[in-house]
Chains A and B, each alone.
Chain A
C-alpha cells in the first residue's frame, strides 16, 4: 500500500478490510476493461494480417501486425475526401460556435443593466425545455436554401443553450471590480471582452470547444438529413455505409486494387473506425482535467 492513500484517509475512518478492498479493485478493473476492451480489439483487428484473421480469433496483440488496411484506405479517394470534409466542418463549425456562444454569453452577463437582455436569456433557456422537432427544422433549412450545403451542418447548431449557460456562469464569476477598473481606464465593451474576459476563461472555453468539436465530428444525422450528395459526406456517414450497412466503398481507383491481394475487408472496416475515432483520442487527454470544472460550473451553483 502506498503511504499516500493512507495519509488521505480521514482519522475517523476504520482501516479498509482486505476482502472489501479486493472486491472493489476487481469491480473497478472489470468496469475499466469493459470500457476499453472493444477499442483495443478494434485496433488489433485493424492492424492484423489476413493470416491472423483466418486463424479463428484475433488476439489483442496480432502475430503479424501490418498497416496494409490503412494503406488501402489512404489510396481510397472517397474515404480521404470524407475525412477532409469532417475536419473542415469540425474546425469551421467549432470556430463559429465559439464566437456565437461566447459573445452572447458575455452579452447576457449583466441582465440588470442591459434592458432586454433578460428576455433574450429566457428565450435561450426556453429551448432547454422544448424544441420544434425534426420536420419543422428540416423545412426551415430547406427554406433558407441550405440543403446540400455544409452550412446546414454548422449554422443550425451554432449555439447550444446548455453550453451558453455554462459559459455565462463562468463569465459572471469573474470579479466585477477587475472589469470595472478596465472600464475606468477607458476600455470599451469589445476591448474588455477580448483582453480580459476571454483570457480569464480559458479553462471553460477549452471544454466548450471540445463539446462542440466532438459533436460536429461525431454527427451523422444532420449530414444524413441535409446532404443528398454522397460526394459531400463526412467520415461518419461513410463509416455507417461501409461498416454498418456492409457496402463496399465506391473506390476512386478500382484498377489499382484489383491487381494485388486485398486485406480482408474487416481489417479495413476497423481501420476506418479507428481513423474516425482518432481525433477524439488525441485531444481527449489534454482536456480531460477541465471536464468536471467546466460541466459543473454551469450545472450546479455554489
Chain B
C-alpha cells in the first residue's frame, strides 16, 4: 500500500512542474525531462506530513475502507472453496483440497447445462424484449407537450420499481394465478382455467413480462436525460429543412442517445449469466427446476440448501470470471466502434 501512496504523490509532481514550465518558458515546448531537471522542484511537503495534515479525513475513510476489505474483498478469497471438498465442520483451512474436481463435476452435471441454457434464454429474451422498451417509452414521454401529464405518468410508471419481488410476485399471482382474477373471469364466462403462473412453458415469457413491468419506467430516467441533452437547434434546423416529427426522431433523437444506449447494452451483456435471482427463486418451485433453474438458483439450492459447497462455489466462480471478461471485452468493442464505453 505504501507503494501506491508514493505513486500517487509522484503522479502529482510532473503536473505541478509543467505548470511552472509553461509560465517560465512561454516561447515553446521543450522536453519535459530537461526542464524539470533544470528548474527547482516546487516545495512539496513529505508524504507523512501530508498524511498527518489530513488526519481528520482518515477518520472518514477508514471505516468505509474496512467495510470494503472485509465484506467485498475477503469473500473473493472465499472462492478457494471451489477447489476444496468443503465441509462446514472442518472450515476453509482444514477442508480437503481436491484441485479441479469440482470443475470437472460441474461440466458433467446435466443440471448445470440446464441452468446455463435457462439463464441464456431468459437473458436473451430480456435483451430483445426488455431493452428497447424504456427507449420507446422515453421517446413517447418526451413527445408529450404537457408537463403535468408527463409528471403524472412518470410517477405511475416509476412505482413498480420500488416494490419488492415478493410483493410483485404476490400481486401477479393474485391477478394471473390459479384462483386469481383472470381465471375467475374465464370460469364465469364458461372457459377452462389456465394458470399462467405455474406453467413451465410460459415461465420464461412471464419472467420477462414481470421484469418489463418492474423496470420499464425506471429505465426511462436515463434515456429522458440523454434526450434532454440533445441540442434543440438541431431539431429546429431539421424542421426548417422540412423534416417531420418522425424523421426528427429517427435522425436526431436516436443518434443523440446512441452513446448511452451502447453503454447500457454493454452492462447488460456483462450480466448475461446473471438474471433476476430473487424473482426466479420465488417462482421456481411452482414450475420446477427444468424450466426455472438458472445459475444463481443452482448455486443457492445446491450449495446452501443441498450442502454441495465446493460445486456451488465453482459455478459461482466461473460465472463471476466469465461475467467480468464479457464486460471488459464488450467495452473494448464499444471503444473500437468509437463509443465511450463504461471505463
Residues of A that sit less than 8 Å from B by CB: 2, 4-6, 8-10, 12-14, 16, 24, 27-28, 31-32, 34-39, 41-42, 45, 56-58, 100-101, 103-104, 106-108, 110, 112-120, 123-124, 127, 129-140, 142, 155-156, 158-159, 164, 188-190, 193, 214, 217-221, 225, 236-237, 239-240, 243-245, 266, 269-270, 273, 276-277, 280, 284-285, 288, 291-292, 295-296, 299-300, 302
Contacts and interface: CB of A to CB of B under 8 A. Distances in A.
A110 B57 CA distance: 9
B323 interface: yes
B38 interface: no
B90 interface: no
Contacts of B56: 188-190
Please report whether the interface of chain B is mostly helix, strand, loop or mixed according to DSSP: helix
29 contacts: A4-B148, A5-B146, A6-B145, A8-B147, A9-B145, A14-B245, A45-B174, A56-B188, A104-B67, A107-B57, A107-B64, A113-B50, A116-B8, A118-B8, A124-B64, A132-B79, A133-B317, A135-B313, A136-B77, A156-B71, A159-B67, A190-B56, A218-B162, A220-B166, A236-B166, A269-B174, A276-B167, A288-B155, A300-B222
A139 B77 CA distance: 11
Given A123-B72, A133-B299, 17 more contacts: A41-B174, A107-B59, A115-B9, A116-B5, A119-B1, A119-B8, A130-B324, A133-B319, A139-B78, A140-B75, A140-B78, A156-B71, A220-B164, A221-B277, A243-B170, A244-B166, A244-B283
A266 B165 CA distance: 19
* Central interface residue in B163, B169, B277, B319, by most chain A CB within 10 Å: B163
Given A12-B236, A116-B5, A158-B67, A132 B76 contact: yes
A164 B64 CA distance: 10
A273 B144 contact: no
A182 to B, nearest CB: 13
Contacts of A12: 235-236, 239-240
A138 B302 CA distance: 14
A35 B213 contact: yes
Interface stretch (B104-112, B117-125, B177-185): B177-185
A209 to B, nearest CB: 13
A109 B151 CA distance: 34
Nearest to A16: B145
B213 A34 contact: yes
Contact of A225 (B165, B173, B304): B304
B4 A119 contact: yes
B26 to A, nearest CB: 26
B137 interface: yes
A134 B143 CA distance: 43
B280 to A, nearest CB: 11
B105 to A, nearest CB: 15
Interface in B9-62: 9, 12, 47, 50-51, 54, 56-61
